[in-house]
Amino acid sequence: MDIRIFQKGFNYAQDGTGNRLVMHLQGCNMHCPWCSNPEGMPLNGVLLTEKEWLDESCCPKGAVKDGVLDRGICASCPEKPCINRYRQKGIRLSCQEYSIEELLQECEAAKPLFFEGGGVTLTGGEISVQFEAVKELLQRLGACGIHRAIECNGSHPQMEALIPHVEQWIMDVKHYDEEKHKAWTGASNQWTLRNLERVTQAHPDVLIRVPLIPGFNDSREDADGFARLFREKIRGSSTSNTKVEFLLYHEYGRGKWAQCGRAYEMGPGRTAPGTREYFEEKMAEWGIPCIRT
Ligand code: SF4
Ligand code: SF4
C-alpha cells in the first residue's frame, strides 16, 4: 500500500513530544480558507509553481504565458510531461508516493534522532483521507517500537480504530456550531464532536487544538461555546489525559495559495491581543486544562 506525502521533516516538540519525524499526508476533506498547507488539500496533489522559474519552457503544451500557468489547459493533460518528463524548476507536483516499506525503513534509520520521547508524527492535510494505509503504517511503526503521534481533524467515522496504535493524539476542533463549521470548512463537525467524546474517554494522552480565526470562532460568545462543548464532551475523561491548546491565527500559508493558483480569501487580520488569554481563562473557570506548546 502506498501513502501520498507532501512534506517530511523533523521538528522539536511541536507535534508531539521530543524530536520527531513529521510526515504531512496529502488530501483533506475540509477546505478551510486559513489553511497554511493548501497544497495538501487535493488527494491527487496539485501543481505548484515557482514564480522565478516559471516560463514557456516549463510546458510543452503552451500552458505557461507571461509567467502565468493556465490550469484550465492542465486539467485536460493527464500525462503531465512537465513533471514526468521535463527537468525544470518552475512546476512541480505537491506530493510523492511512498510504499509503507520505504517509510518504515526511513523511520528505522531515524531512530537515533528520536530523543526526548520523540518518534513519528502523521499529520496533513488530513491523515484519515488515507485511512487504511495510515492504520497499517501506525501498526507497523508500533511493532518497530517507535513512538507514534497523529494530528487529525477527527472527522473520520472509524477514527476510534486508531486509538490502540497511537501514543499521542492531537485533534483539531474548529467550531462547536455545525452551521458555522460547514460554512467555513465545507464539512460538518458532527463526526469530529462524536470522536472528541470517544477519544478523550478512551485515550490516555489527548491534545485538542483550536485555531482562533478572526470572525469565525474568536468572540467571547465563542469562548463560552467551546467551554460548554468541552465540558460536555470530555466530561467522562480524566482531565489529566486531555488538554486544550488555543492557537493564534497566522498567514504563513498565503504565499502557498498563490503557488497553487488559488486566491487567499482571508482578509488581513490576526487574533486580537488578549483573545487567547481570555479563552484560556474561560476554560480554567470550567476546569478544562490548557497548555501552549
Ligand atoms: S500539466 Fe504540465 S505539461 Fe500539461 S498543460 Fe499543465 S503545465 Fe503543461
Ligand atoms: S482541516 Fe487542516 S489541512 Fe484540512 S483544510 Fe482545514 S486547516 Fe487545512
Q: What is the CATH number of the domain that holds 212?
A: 3.20.20.70
Neighbours of 179 (CB within 10 A): 10
Nearest CA to ligand 2 atom 3: 125
Q: Are residues 103 and 189 in the same domain?
A: yes
CA distance 18 to 15: 9
Domain closes at, from 32, 66, 93: 93
Question: Cα dihedral sign for 135, 137, 142, 147?
Answer: negative
Q: Are residues 59 and 169 in the same domain?
A: no
Residue 252 pLDDT: 86
Enclosing domain of residue 63? 47-93
Closest Cα to residue 167, out of 10, 49, 9, 15? 15
Q: Are residues 139 and 219 in the same domain?
A: yes
Contact 136, 7 (CB under 8 A): no
The mean per-residue pLDDT over the stretch 263-273 comes to: 90
| Residue located via cell numbers 505557461 | 64
Residue 87 pLDDT: 83
Nearest atom of ligand 2 to the alpha carbon of 34: 7
Determine the straight-line distance between the first and last CA of the chain, rounded to whole angstroms.
33
Contact 192, 173 (CB under 8 A): yes
Residue 237: CA atoms inside 13 Å, Cβ hemisphere, count?
A: 26
Global pTM reads 0.96
Q: Are residues 107 and 235 in the same domain?
A: yes
Q: Are residues 199 and 274 in the same domain?
A: yes
Contact 134, 127 (CB under 8 A): yes
Q: Are residues 79 and 180 in the same domain?
A: no
Q: Are residues 167 and 56 in the same domain?
A: no
**Best probe residue, ligand 2, of 24, 126, 174 (max atoms within 8 Å of C-beta):** 126
Of the pLDDT bands very low, low, confident and very high (cuts 50, 70, 90), residue 240 is low
Q: Is the residue at 293 inside a domain?
A: no
| 141 CB within 6 A, ligand 2 | no
| Residue located via cell numbers 488578549 | 274
- Is the model's pLDDT at 112 over the cut of 70? yes
